[in-house]
Structure 1
Amino acid sequence: MSAETVDIRELGAQGDGVAHTETGPVFVPFTLPGETVSIAREKAKATLMAVKSASPLRVEPPCPHFGPDGEGGACGGCSLQHYDMAAYRDWKADLVRQALAEQKIDIPLEPLIAAQPGERRRLVLTGLRTDRSVILGFAAARSHQIVPIRVCPIAVPAISQRLDTIRRVATAVATGTAAFRVSVLATVSGLDIAITAPMKLQDRRRLLAIETILGLSEIARVTVDGEVLVEPRRPIIQFGKASVTPVPGGFVQASAIAEGHMAQIVSAHLKPSKRIADLFAGSGTFALRLAESAPVHAVENDKLALAALDAAARATQGLRPVTHQKQDLFRSPLMGMDLKPFDGLVFDPPRAGAEAQSRELARSSIRRIAAVSCNPTTLARDLRFLIDGGYKLLSVQPIDQFLWSPHVEAVALLERKG
Structure 2
Amino acid sequence: MTYVIERLGHLGDGIADGPVYAPRTLPGEVVTGTLDGDTLRDIRIETPSANRVRPPCRHFGACGACQLQHAADDFVENWKRKVVETALEAQGLSADVGPVVTSPPGSRRRATLAARRTKRGALVGFHGRSSDTITEIPDCQLLHPRLMAAVPAARDLAVTGGSRKGNLAVAVTETLNGPDILVRGGKPLNGPLRAALGDLARRHDLARLSWEDEVIALRLPPEQQFGPARVVPPPGAFLQATAEGEAALRSEVLRITHGAGRIVDLFAGCGTFSLPLAQYAPVHAVEADAAMVAALDAGWRHAQGLKPVTHAARDLFRDPLEPAELAGFEAAVIDPPRAGAHAQIGRLADSGIQRIAHVSCNPVTFARDARTLVRAGYVMGPVRVIDQFRWSAHVELVAEFRREPV
What TM-score comes out, normalization by structure 2 length? 0.96
Aligned to 2:65: 77
AA aligned to 1:35 is: E
| Number of residues of Structure 1 aligned to a counterpart in Structure 2 | 405
Task: State, as a whole percentage, how many aligned pairs show the same letter.
Answer: 42
Q: CA deviation at 1:373?
A: 0.4
Check if 1:289 corresponds to 2:276. Answer: yes
Equivalent residue runs for 1:203-352 within 5 Å: 203-217=191-205, 219-352=206-339
Rounded Cα–Cα distance in structure 1 between residues aligned with 2:150 and 2:232: 21
Kept in 2: contact 1:189–1:220 (CA 8 A): yes
Q: CA deviation at 1:314?
A: 0.8
SS in 2 for 1:214: helix
- Matching residue within 162, 184, 188 for 2:176: 188
Q: Which moved more, 1:142-151 or 1:271-280?
A: 142-151
Aligned to 2:54: 60
Kept in 2: contact 1:29–1:48 (CA 8 A): no
Equivalent residue runs for 1:99-138 within 5 Å: 99-138=87-126
Kept in 1: contact 2:7–2:15 (CA 8 A): yes
Rounded Cα–Cα distance in structure 1 between residues aligned with 2:34 and 2:233: 45
Aligned to 1:7: 4
Check if 1:406 corresponds to 2:393. Answer: yes
Rounded Cα–Cα distance in structure 2 between residues aligned with 1:388 and 1:261: 28
What TM-score comes out, normalization by structure 1 length? 0.93
AA aligned to 2:385 is: P
Kept in 1: contact 2:153–2:200 (CA 8 A): no
After superposition, what is the alpha-carbon deviation per residue over 1:132-179, rounded to whole angstroms, capped at 9, x for unaligned?
322222222122332222232111111124423332244333246222
Kept in 2: contact 1:247–1:308 (CA 8 A): yes
Rounded Cα–Cα distance in structure 1 between residues aligned with 2:313 and 2:283: 14
Kept in 2: contact 1:392–1:416 (CA 8 A): yes
Aligned to 1:19: 16
Rounded Cα–Cα distance in structure 1 between residues aligned with 2:108 and 2:379: 33
After superposition, what is the alpha-carbon deviation per residue over 1:33-84, rounded to whole angstroms, capped at 9, x for unaligned?
12222222222222243222222221111112112xxxxxx21110000111
Rounded Cα–Cα distance in structure 1 between residues aligned with 2:290 and 2:239: 15
Rounded Cα–Cα distance in structure 2 between residues aligned with 1:409 and 1:97: 13
Aligned to 2:83: 95
Kept in 1: contact 2:116–2:122 (CA 8 A): yes
Kept in 1: contact 2:161–2:186 (CA 8 A): no
After superposition, what is the alpha-carbon deviation per residue over 1:380-405, rounded to whole angstroms, capped at 9, x for unaligned?
11111000001111111111000000
Kept in 2: contact 1:329–1:357 (CA 8 A): yes
Aligned to 1:43: 37
After superposition, what is the alpha-carbon deviation per residue over 1:170-201, rounded to whole angstroms, capped at 9, x for unaligned?
43332462222111111111111111225312
AA aligned to 1:215 is: R
For the aligned residue pairs, the C-alpha RMSD in angstroms reads: 1.5
After superposition, what is the alpha-carbon deviation per residue over 1:178-234, rounded to whole angstroms, capped at 9, x for unaligned?
2221111111111111112253122112212222331123x2111111311122211
SS in 1 for 2:156: helix
AA aligned to 2:374 is: I
SS in 2 for 1:182: strand
Rounded Cα–Cα distance in structure 2 between residues aligned with 1:404 and 1:46: 21
Q: Which moved more, 1:50-59 or 1:241-250?
A: 50-59
Instruction: Structure 2: give runs of 5+ residues left out of the alignment.
Output: none
Q: Which moved more, 1:389-398 or 1:129-138?
A: 129-138
Rounded Cα–Cα distance in structure 1 between residues aligned with 2:203 and 2:68: 38
AA aligned to 1:41 is: L
Aligned to 1:168: 156
Kept in 2: contact 1:63–1:151 (CA 8 A): yes
- Matching residue within 346, 349, 360 for 1:362: 349
Judging changes above 3 Å, is the alpha-carbon distance between structure 1 residues 97 and 214 closer, same or farther for their aligned structure 2 residues? Answer: same
Kept in 2: contact 1:153–1:160 (CA 8 A): no
Kept in 2: contact 1:120–1:254 (CA 8 A): yes
Q: CA deviation at 1:295?
A: 0.9
SS in 1 for 2:364: helix
Check if 1:142 corresponds to 2:136. Answer: no
AA aligned to 1:407 is: H
Rounded Cα–Cα distance in structure 1 between residues aligned with 2:42 and 2:104: 27
AA aligned to 1:12 is: G
Q: Which moved more, 1:329-338 or 1:202-211?
A: 202-211
AA aligned to 1:122 is: R
AA aligned to 1:79 is: Q
Rounded Cα–Cα distance in structure 2 between residues aligned with 1:259 and 1:170: 31
Q: CA deviation at 1:263?
A: 0.8
AA aligned to 2:97 is: L
Instruction: Structure 1: give runs of 5+ residues left out of the alignment.
Output: 68-73
AA aligned to 1:102 is: A
Q: CA deviation at 1:282?
A: 0.5
- Matching residue within 24, 31, 56 for 1:30: 24
AA aligned to 2:134 is: I
Rounded Cα–Cα distance in structure 2 between residues aligned with 1:5 and 1:133: 44
Judging changes above 3 Å, is the alpha-carbon distance between structure 1 residues 140 and 66 closer, same or farther for their aligned structure 2 residues? Answer: same
Kept in 2: contact 1:270–1:344 (CA 8 A): yes
Q: Which moved more, 1:254-263 or 1:121-130?
A: 121-130
Check if 1:353 corresponds to 2:335. Answer: no
SS in 2 for 1:14: coil
After superposition, what is the alpha-carbon deviation per residue over 1:312-366, rounded to whole angstroms, capped at 9, x for unaligned?
0111111111111111111111111111121110000000001111111111100
